[in-house]
Structure 1
Amino acid sequence: MLGGTEFVGRALVDEAVGRGHEVTTLNRGTRAPEQAQVTARHGDRRQPGGLDALTGEWDVVIDTWSSDSYVVSDSVEALKDRVDRYLFVSTRSVYEFPAPVGGDESAPLVEGDPEAGRDGSEVPYGEAKRGSEMAVERVFGDRYVHVRAGLILGPWENIGRLPWWLGRVARGGDVLAPGPEDLPLQYVDARDLAIWTVSAAEKGLSGPFDLVSPPGHTTMGEFLRTCVEVTASDAVLRWAPPELIEQAGIEPWTELPVWIPPGPDHAALHLSDPAKALAAGLHNRPVAETIGDTWAWLQSVGGQAPQRPGRPQPGLDPEKEAEILRTLKS
């Protein structure tokens, strides 16, 4: 497991250890794996000699790298004769944007370069992931799986999307709720991603798979009402039409995490077709379980989720929210 101490990586390690697999992790050593059964090795994959600690042979490697493609290129070269299969946790951002409504693994892909970032240049997220996929493909042939995840939620989230909503709702009072209420949402719980990915390794699956729930697995209304329920908050959801939110200059996705108004951008993120992954065993737990377990985890860590370095904190400024709430009341 390349990584394995935070969010998706942690969920993957938990699942593999829980099934009795022998797990080795490689990370920079800034955080130790919490599972006593794990063999922890340290190395910075960006630095010369960063992979030297990987001595041995393994059946499978799972890689969650999300930045410069050359790092994955170096990893596959180092492991090509000592690993049977390579599973790369990728993203649906590898598809040309906006992806078509009902798009699947056959949708057009962005350009990628397996060596991207080696010269120090900044690489867009989707292109970096696609370049990493290409690096895996050219070395491992058909002995790979690309786990192309959509929006990922669940306990240990270090991006801050669901934690922000839970924190905001828990504070109570009038809460700006971006509509429409029946707007379909599509995501995957990190633990369901982990269950599917470890199973894919055990089954010897190959190729790309879009890991996300069916469209409408939940809605914006159910999502926010569940946040109110699990926090036992006195929050009152004040629904605003997308047009009013746009007029107020509020940014979808960043200032109002998870939410994107109806249109091509929403269709690309929340209306894809995950039939291939579902046929291969993907199960998506109810949204109430994802949100409830995330709230319980937040309480266990003092109510403040860890923030992934280099990623901006999502969420809406309270004064900006108050202003649009006043508009709604008038």
Structure 2
Amino acid sequence: MLGGTEFVGRAVTDAALERGWDVTVFHRGRHAPPPGASALTGDRTAGGRGLAALAESGQDWDLVVDTWSGAPAAVRDASRLLSTRAGHFSYVSSRSVYAYPAAPGIDENGPLVTGASPDDGGDVPYDRAKRGGELAALDAFGERALLARAGLIIGPGENIGRLPWWLSRIARGGPVIAPGRPDTELQYVDVRDLAEWILDAAADGLHGPYNTVSRPGHATMGELLEACVRVTGSDAELRWTDPEVLQAAGAEPWSDLPIWLPPGELHDTMHRGDHTKAHAAGLRCRPVEETVADTWAWLRALGGTAPQRPDRPAVGLDPELEAKLLAL
């Protein structure tokens, strides 16, 4: 496991350990490795010398899973090193690799972003970075490479802050700005469902791209936020607010109001992709209530404060702006 100590990587590691698999995590040492996993320490951003522990370990593996979202060159270097020492390579990619705007229902054969390269450094946008990572995996492993193109990923361990922010805000109670309409459809994947599918798919020898997301409308924005109210036991009152009002006040979709996007190109791109190939290959998505309840339990166990990736901005509506909107 390249990484393996946070969010998606940790979920994959935990799922593999629960199956009784022998797991080695290669990580920077910023967090303790999961109990039961062996560990190698290095820094992929340092080029070949950062991979020394991996190169010198002398180990071979049946499967490598990589969640890297930075410089594609880091995927290139690791995958080349491991191409003769591992049977299969699963790269956690993103549906962001599709050219924007992505039409509703776009499948794995849709047009992709241009200009991506496996040799790119860390100064490329996210969509090109993920596509460059895909190209690196394919160059090294060919038909032994699986590309899991996830979309929105939520669930226990989330270190971006989207669902944790909604849970924390709703737990405080009182009137809460709820964006748009409650029937706005969402498409996402619980991190644990993604992890289990990656392991199953690799064990079955699957390769190539798969859109690893739920069906569109697996949940709605209303169902998500109402689940937050229930699991927190809050007295929160959801006040559904028109997108035009929100945007006129300067409240930004996705960043100020996490997960939510108003109708239009961006919503279609994020929440209306095709899912049938991955579901035919065994992806199963648990109910939103379970994802929300388990995320709340995890958050409470941490004392109420979720970890935050240092390379991602904090999300959530500023209290002053929320008060302004509630007063309208």
TM-score range for the pair, normalised by the shorter chain length: over 0.9
Give 3-state SS (helix, strand or coil) of 1:142's partner.
helix
Q: Note if contact 2:64-2:86 (Cα within 8 Å) is conserved in structure 1.
A: yes
**Aligned residue identity for 1:109:** L
> Counterpart of 1:180?
181
Which residues of structure 2 form unaligned runs of 5+? Answer: none
**Structure 1 match to 2:195:** 194
Q: Give the TM-score, by structure 1 length.
A: 0.97
Determine if the alignment matches structure 1 residue 60 to structure 2 residue 63.
yes
Deviations 1:252-305 (A, max 9, x none): 000000000011110110011100000000000000000000000000000000
Alignment deviations for residues 207-233 of structure 1 (CA, whole Å, 9 cap, x no partner): 100111000000011111110000000
C-alpha distance after superposition, 1:67-108 (max 9, x if no partner) = 000001111111111111110000011111111111111111
Q: Unaligned regions of 5+ residues in structure 1, if any?
A: none
What does residue 165 of structure 2 align with?
164
Task: Give distance in 2, aligned partners of 1:126 and 1:39.
Answer: 32
Note if contact 2:14-2:34 (Cα within 8 Å) is conserved in structure 1: no
Aligned partner of 1:116 among 117, 120, 140: 120
> Which shifted more, 198-207 or 42-51?
42-51
Q: Which residue of 2 aligns with 1:4?
A: 4
In the TM superposition, 1:272-287 aligns within 5 A as 272-287=273-288
1:86 aligned to 2:89? yes
Q: Which amino acid aligns with 1:179?
A: G
Partner-residue secondary structure (3-state), 1:298: helix
Whole-Å Cα distance in 2 between the matches of residues 231 and 322 of structure 1?
Answer: 22
Q: Contact conserved, 1:307 with 1:313, CA < 8 A, in 2?
A: yes
Deviation, 1:20, is 1.2
Alpha-carbon distance between aligned partners in 2 of 1:265 and 1:185, rounded to the nearest angstrom: 12
Partner Cα separation in structure 2 for residue 253 and residue 144 of structure 1: 31
In the alignment, what sits opposite 1:105? 108
Number of residue-to-residue matches in the alignment? 323
Inter-partner Cα distance in structure 2 for 1:24 and 1:303:
30
Matched residue, 1:138: 139
* Residue aligning to 1:75: 78
Q: After TM superposition, list the pairs within 5 Å mapping 1:193-232 onto structure 2.
A: 193-232=194-233
User: SS of the counterpart of 2:146?
Assistant: strand
Question: Secondary structure of the equivalent of 1:197?
Answer: helix
State the distance in 1 between where 2:308 and 2:191 align.
16
Percent identity, aligned pairs only, is 56
Structure 2 Cα separation of the partners of residues 38 and 18 of structure 1: 11
Q: What is the distance in 2 between the residues matched to 1:78 and 1:143?
A: 15
Q: Is the Cα contact below 8 Å between 2:4 and 2:25 reproduced in 1?
A: yes
Residue 201 of structure 1 deviates from its aligned partner by 1.1
Q: Name the aligned partner's letter for residue 117 of structure 2.
A: D
Deviation at 1:34? 2.5
| Conserved 8 A contact 2:13-2:34 | no
User: Could you tell me how far apart the structure 2 residues matched to 1:276 and 1:87 are?
Assistant: 16
Moved segments of 4+, more than 2 Å: none
What's 1:25 paired with?
A: 25
- Aligned equivalents of 1:122, 1:251: Cα separation in 2: 25
CA contact (8 A) 1:32 1:40 kept: no
The whole-number CA distance in structure 2 between the counterparts of 1:60 and 1:184 is 35
